[in-house]
Amino acid sequence: MVKRIAALSMLLLLATTIEAKPFKKVVGQEFPAVKVTDLMTGKEVDLSKELKKDEIKGAVITFTCIGCPVAKAYEERKEDLVKKYGDHFVFIFLNANMGSETADAWKDYAKESGYSGVVAVDEGSKIAKEIGATVTPECYVINPKGTVVFHGPIDDSQDPKYIEDQLLANALESLVTGKELPEEKREMQAFGCGINYAKDE
């Protein structure tokens, strides 16, 4: 318990050192159009087309980055989810930190970290701004109709020893099984490092 409180205290301290942005509730809304270049393959990815494939149950959009220690703590867990659910979900990892990171650096980091799924840049932080993403990592699960059905963190603890709620995995499982996700588990504030939006031109 003491260790868990200490871990949460560190997250709170981190949160107070970044610029606070308002929490935007978006479950039930349509996710913005996603047309990006996969940095790992060079191929163009149009999410609306991917969602029409018969085997696809939905998509997971995760805003993440290179320099955030919270995002780094989740690398293995993110990859585990891709391995488990990748046959039925499109996983897209978007870097919206275009105020401080580059596409080349993001590509190199993703390769070194062994990313699966689509690795892309949110040019001008446009998608993050439109949907209201504020931290890394922050996840959005979208059903085949393009509607947001889950928004929040991957789970409830940066330290895997103290996980009590597999939030993202439960959201994906609900789409696979058709079992409705409890309303109180559909949307909550993600925790991590503030997204450094690209400056408006």
**What confidence tens digit (pLDDT) does each residue in 120-173 have?**
999 999 999 999 999 999 999 999 999 999 999 999 999 999 999 999 999 999
Say whether pLDDT at 37 is over 50. yes
**What confidence tens digit (pLDDT) does each residue in 94-106 have?**
999 988 899 999 9
Angle at 23 between CA 63 and CA 161, to 5 degrees: 60
Task: Provide, rounded to the nearest whole percent, the portion of the chain with pLDDT above 90.
Answer: 85
Q: Quick one: pLDDT band at residue 198, thresholds 50, 70, 90?
A: confident
What pTM was computed for the model?
A: 0.89
What is the model's pLDDT at position 122? Answer: 97
CA dist 59 and 35 (Å) reads 13
CA dist 100 and 92 (Å) reads 20
- Give me 8's structure tokens: 């949460």
Find residue 30's DSSP bridge partners: 147
Class of domain 2-194 as given by CATH: alpha beta
Mean pLDDT within 11-36 = 75
Angle at 28 between CA 79 and CA 99, to 5 degrees: 55
Find residue 136's DSSP bridge partners: 193
Cα 103 off chain centre by: 18
Residue with token string 């059903």: 143
Q: Where are the domains of the chain?
A: 2-194
Strands 138-142 and 89-95: unpaired
- Picking from 118, 58, 116, the residue whose alpha carbon sits closest to that of residue 89 is 58
Residues 6 or more apart from 127 whose CB is under 8 A from it? 32, 34, 61, 94, 96, 133
